[in-house]
Structure 1
Amino acid sequence: MSQADTVVKSPGTVRPLWTLGLFRSELLVTLRRWRTLALLGVLAAVPVLVGIAVKIETGDGSSAGPRGGEGPAFISQVTNNGLFLVFTALAATLPFFLPMAVGVIAGDAVAGEAGAGTLRYLLVAPAGRTRLLLAKYTTTMAFCVIATLVVAVSALLVGALLFPLGDLTTISGTRISFAEGLVRALLIALVVAASLIGVAALGLFVSTLTNSGIAAMATTVGLLITVQILDQFPQLHAIQPYLFSHYWLSFADLMREPVYWDDLVRNLGLQGLYAAVFGSAAWARFTAKDITV
């Protein structure tokens, strides 16, 4: 067995050192934790609650649903087409539930290992701090995709059970087929997942600053809430375009005909900037960190 195929044994885990194996191991360890499963369960429950609430509101179908301006985006269209529940659920979970879940996973990535005393076991073997940090961040980004798809799939199933499906009307008033609507729903889910990479990088950086997983998770979620509050004050309009949450709801532009790309591109560019800045800061901190536990 070559050195690259060596495994690191730490309490309760066996993790290969080569890059792909390390990522796979980290992902499996993350997904098997009860905390992760609980977060995914909460995310899956949100579309169920929204769908039931809309169904109760409409009653026998005589009501057109919540009035305009009430509830998340697209909610008034759910009764006409269950596919809109996907867009509604993503709009409802993106401001808090999805980024909070990602913040918990990212905040615990390094600090949780340090607090449990397993980080030094991973660093004894020649995996390298850079590879380990890259595996942690890649795992967090994979969780972004998984969490978003959990919301989308749950919403699609609930929408199909409670409401009719078929061709749908875009924000621009044009009609598209159900198949094209599914494609756009998938694109929207991927854009929402990509919108979370800035939070993931920020959480990973915070995770390298402490040996307490709880402190790192709390700090990341606290920063998330603070940024969301700052994005609501008109007096701060000058800095708001630089906040990672500012363009999150731009995914709605994928439901226009033609698609409006300006804010979507700004959002993805901003997330890439946050990933570069805080990812680099996390790398600089982690590679120089004195691991004593």
Structure 2
Amino acid sequence: MSPDESGATGRAETTGTAPTSGSAPSSTRPVIDPFASRSEPGAFGRMLASELLLVLGRRRNQLLVALVAAVPILLGVVLWVVNDSAYAGQGPGFISRVSENGLFLVITSLFMCLPFLLPLVVSVASGDAVAGEAGAGTLRYLLLVPVRRGQLLLVKALGALVQVMLAVLILAAVAFLTGGILFGFGDLTLLSGQSVGVGAGIGRMLGVTAYVAMSLTGLIALGLFFSTLTEVPIGAMAATLVATIVSTVLDSIPQLSTIHPGLLTHHWFDFAEFLRFSVSSDVIWQGVWVQAAWVAIFGSLAWARFTTADITS
């Protein structure tokens, strides 16, 4: 068998099409290029389902989500233990108000996890998305699936997004249950001193949770871009975390106030707007548009890099 015939036969077997008797000679037989742009109906959905099962079933990811979920439990138990001591009512931010209303445990837990722990989840989820496959040598085999490279990248992005959103939701849900069990629920006292009922307070907690989840989308896109640049996932994870730290540092320098509104982390704590009697939609939308800009820019860069890169591993 000539090299051309063996190569064509190997590609046919790889894509699940075996040569049949009476087929055209190898010189006229169409060659199946595994790296060509093509898409088979239903392949995208199957790949997405497989990716979600892989992401959610990976022990490392489960351990990381469990670590996030442990924060409100640990915080709630500590505050419950010291509730009748001399330390009751003390603490920064919303911590001093948790013992008055369990709903504040949701805000406090998100407030404490947002600067580092949640970005850590994002860096692991997005930094490993493409670089992990490349480092393990499985990325080129994924390209044999009949989906376009852009669709494969979208699958990886959605997998990272689901993992991060799930971590935020579990964090908020565990904080809600822990706060209700240990401290109970009551009317929510807002920053302006006015109070709203329990139902309205729960609605505002949902708004806070949704805003925090939205605030991480720009970092996911940035981490995905870093992941397309390397075959070493730990490097992409580290770069994503460093970008978060750099943005935070730049945001704390008054001389750079001109660029503050466009920084990745500048609007992260604007979820406090949901604790005002009249929520300013302008403030909320500023945060949304900044994250949308980061997603658009670094999502496009990730797509441009991934769809044109020479995949060798």
TM-score normalized with structure 2 length? 0.83
CA distance in 2, matches of 1:86, 1:227: 25
CA distance in 1, matches of 2:87, 2:125: 41
| Deviation (angstroms), 1:17 | 6.2
CA distance in 2, matches of 1:256, 1:28: 40
What amino acid is aligned across from residue 42 of structure 1 in structure 2? L
Q: 130, 135, 150: which is aligned to 1:130?
A: 150
CA distance in 2, matches of 1:112, 1:282: 15
Does 2:65 align with 1:45?
Answer: no
Which piece of structure 1 moves more, 221-230 or 106-115? Answer: 221-230
C-alpha distance 17-113 of structure 1, shift in aligned 2 (>3 A): farther
CA distance in 2, matches of 1:88, 1:17: 43
CA distance in 1, matches of 2:72, 2:183: 13
What amino acid is aligned across from residue 209 of structure 1 in structure 2? L
The answer to whether the 8 Å contact 1:166/1:178 transfers is yes
The answer to whether the 8 Å contact 1:100/1:224 transfers is no
Q: 255, 275, 283: which is aligned to 1:255?
A: 275
SS of 2:157's equivalent? helix
The answer to whether the 8 Å contact 2:270/2:284 transfers is yes
| Deviation (angstroms), 1:64 | 4.8
CA distance in 2, matches of 1:229, 1:156: 31
TM-score normalized with structure 1 length? 0.89
What are the equivalent positions in structure 2 for 1:81-120 lying under 5 Å apart? 81-120=101-140
RMSD: 1.8
CA distance in 2, matches of 1:182, 1:64: 24
Corresponding pairs, count: 275
The residue that corresponds to 2:38 in the other structure is none
Name structure 1 gaps, 5 residues minimum. 1-5, 8-15
The answer to whether the 8 Å contact 1:168/1:181 transfers is yes
The residue that corresponds to 1:163 in the other structure is 183
Does 2:48 align with 1:23?
Answer: yes
| Deviation (angstroms), 1:203 | 0.1
CA distance in 1, matches of 2:73, 2:253: 32
CA distance in 2, matches of 1:220, 1:56: 37
Same amino acid, percent of matched pairs: 46
| Deviation (angstroms), 1:54 | 2.0
| Deviation (angstroms), 1:58 | 2.4
**After superposition, what is the alpha-carbon deviation per residue over 1:80-99, rounded to whole angstroms, capped at 9, x for unaligned?**
10111001101111111111
Does 2:310 align with 1:285?
Answer: no
What amino acid is aligned across from residue 43 of structure 2 in structure 1? W
The residue that corresponds to 1:65 in the other structure is 89
SS of 2:287's equivalent? helix
CA distance in 1, matches of 2:164, 2:62: 14
| Deviation (angstroms), 1:263 | 2.1
What amino acid is aligned across from residue 221 of structure 1 in structure 2? L
Q: 49, 56, 60: which is aligned to 1:35?
A: 60
The answer to whether the 8 Å contact 1:169/1:175 transfers is yes
Name structure 2 gaps, 5 residues minimum. 1-14, 17-40
**After superposition, what is the alpha-carbon deviation per residue over 1:80-139, rounded to whole angstroms, capped at 9, x for unaligned?**
101110011011111111112111110000000001111111102321100010111112
